[in-house]
Structure 1
Amino acid sequence: MSDQQQTFIAHLLELRDRLLRIVVGFLVVFIALFPFANKLYSLLAQPLLSKLPQGGQLIATGVTTPFFVPMKVAMLTAVVISLPHTLYQVWSFIAPGLYKHEKRFLLPLVVASTLLFLTGMSFAYFAVFPVVFGFIVGTAPAGVAVMTDIGNYLDFVITLFLAFGIAFEVPVAVVLLVRFGIVEIKVLQDIRSYVIVGAFVIGAIFTPPDVISQVMLAVPLWLLYEAGILAARLMEKNRKLAQ
C-alpha cells in the first residue's frame, strides 16, 4: 500500500473517531437532560404562557405529542450545549491541514460565528418572543381562546431561533466576502440602502405581521451589517500592516 493510500485511510479513521466523539458527547448531554425534558419545554413555552389570559394553556392534539415534543426540546438543547465540544472535534480534525495564517483567521471566525448564533437565539427568546406572543394574543377576536398545540409552538419558535441565529451571522458573512476578495468594502458601503430595505423585507417574511417584531429583526440586521463592515475594515488594515 502506498504512502498516499495509508495517509487517506488514516484520515478516514481519524474522521470516524471524531464523529464518534461528537455523537458520544451529544448522547451524554441528552441523557443528562432526559429527566428534565418537560421542564425544558415549560421554560421554552414561558414567553407564550406569560401572555395568555389567566387559566390559558397549551394543548396537545396528538396521542404521542406530550412525549415526543419535550424529547425534541431536550435533543435540541443537547445539540446547543454540546456545540463547543462538537466544534472542538471539527477543529481538531481540520487544523493540522491548515497553514498558520489560516488558523489565525479561521479560529476567531469560528468562535465569533458560534457566539453570534447563540446571541441571536437569546435575543429571540428574551426580546422578540414576548413582543410577538403579546401581539398574537392581543389580536385574538373576542370569544376566541388562544390554545396553541405544543408541536406547532415548537415548530414556530425553532423557525424564529434559526431566523435570528442566521441573521446574527451577517458580520461573519461580510468579513468572508471581503477577505476572499468577492466584494470590496466601498461596494458594501454603497449598497447600504438596499441592505436596509432587504432587512425589512426579511423581517416581514420571518416575523408575524406587526411592525414591532419586523423592526426587531430588521434593525439588528442593519446594525450587524455595519459591524461587519467595521470588522472587515480593521481586518484589511491589520493585513496591510502585517505586509
Structure 2
Amino acid sequence: MTSYTEDMNIIAAEMRKKLYLFIIVLFTTFSVSFQFTNPLIRNIKEGLLPEGAKLVYVSPLEVILLKIKIALVIGLFALLPLVLFFVISPLIKNRNIQIQISKRWLTMSAFFAIALFVTGVAYAYYIMLPLFINYLYLNASTSGVIATYSIFSFISFAVQASFIFGIVFETPLFLTLLTRSGIVQYKVLLEYRKHVYVFCLIAGAIITPPDIISQIMVGIPLIIFFELSLLIVRYTGGNRN
C-alpha cells in the first residue's frame, strides 16, 4: 500500500512539473507575442482585406480581445513541440510496444513538424484565404452589398484558418509516428480510407463558410495529405501488419 502511494505521489509530482512547464512556456510566449500583435493585425489587413472592404470594431473591447486571442494561438503553437515530446517520449521507453523510433528520428520529426506547420500556415495565408475571401467579397458585391467586416471576426478567421492548416499539414508526420510506434497499423489506415475521405469533406464544411468552393479548398488538401501520409508510411518502414 505504501509503495502504491509513493508511486502515485511520484506520478503526481511529474505531472505537476510538466504542467508548470506548459504554463511557463504558454505565459512567456503569450507575453512576448502580445507585444507584436499590432503589426500582425496590420499585415493581415493589408494582405487579405479585399479592395473596397472596410474593417470596423463594434464593441469597445473587441480589439484587445483580438490581440489576446492571437497571442494565445501563438502560445499554443509554442506548446506543440512539448506536447509531441511528452506524448512520443513515453512510447520510446515502453518496451511493451515495438518501437522503431530512434532519438535521431525524433529530432528530425521535431524539425519537420515545425517546417510542415509553417508550410500549412503559408498555404492558408497566401493561397487559400485570398482566393475564397475575394470570391465571397465579389459574390456579395454583385448583390449590391457593401462589405464592412468586424475586425475581430475577420482577423480571427484568418488566424484560426492558418493555425488549423498548420495542424493539418502535420498529418503525414503524425500518422508516420503512430505507425512506426505500432499504435496504428498500416492496413487499418488502408481499410478506413473511404471513411477518412468523408471525414475530410465534413471537416472542410465545418471549418469554412457555407460555400462549396471554400469547402473543396479545405477538404481536398486534407485528402491529399492523408494519401501522402500513407505513401510516407509505406516507404519509411512503418508497421504494415
TM-score by length of 2: 0.73
The residue that corresponds to 1:150 in the other structure is 151
Q: Within 1, Cα distance between the matches of 2:193 and 2:91?
A: 35
Matched, 1:52 2:48: no
- Aligned-residue sequence identity (percent) comes to 25
Distance 1:39 1:162, change over 3 A: closer
Cα contact 1:40–1:74 (8 A) shared by 2: no
Amino acid at match of 1:234: Y
Q: Deviations over 1:97-135 (max 9, x none)?
A: 534953717947963556544433332122111111111
SS at the partner of 1:184? helix
Structure 2 regions of 5+ residues with no counterpart? none
Matches within 5 A, 1:1-243: 2-49=2-49, 51-53=50-52, 56-84=53-81, 86-87=82-83, 90=86, 94=90, 97-99=93-95, 102=99, 104=101, 107=106, 111=110, 115-141=115-141, 143-161=144-162, 163-172=164-173, 174-175=175-176, 176=178, 179-180=182-183, 184=187, 188=190, 199-200=200-201, 202-208=203-209, 212-236=213-237
Q: Deviations over 1:172-207 (max 9, x none)?
A: 56544794465617x72x776776566455444533
Alignment coverage as a number of residue pairs: 234
Distance 1:180 1:125, change over 3 A: same
Query: 1:52 offset after TM fit, Å?
Result: 2.6
Query: 1:80 offset after TM fit, Å?
Result: 1.8
Cα contact 1:34–1:71 (8 A) shared by 2: yes
Query: 1:74 offset after TM fit, Å?
Result: 1.8
Query: 1:167 offset after TM fit, Å?
Result: 3.6
Distance 1:64 1:47, change over 3 A: same
Distance 1:80 1:201, change over 3 A: closer
How large is the RMSD of aligned CA atoms in angstroms?
Answer: 3.9
TM-score by length of 1: 0.73
SS at the partner of 1:140? helix
Distance 1:180 1:101, change over 3 A: closer
Q: Deviations over 1:195-238 (max 9, x none)?
A: 65664554445334555544432332232122122122224478
Distance 1:192 1:169, change over 3 A: same
Cα contact 1:118–1:165 (8 A) shared by 2: yes
Q: Deviations over 1:11-57 (max 9, x none)?
A: 211221221122112222222223222222223334332x232xx43
Cα contact 2:201–2:216 (8 A) shared by 1: yes
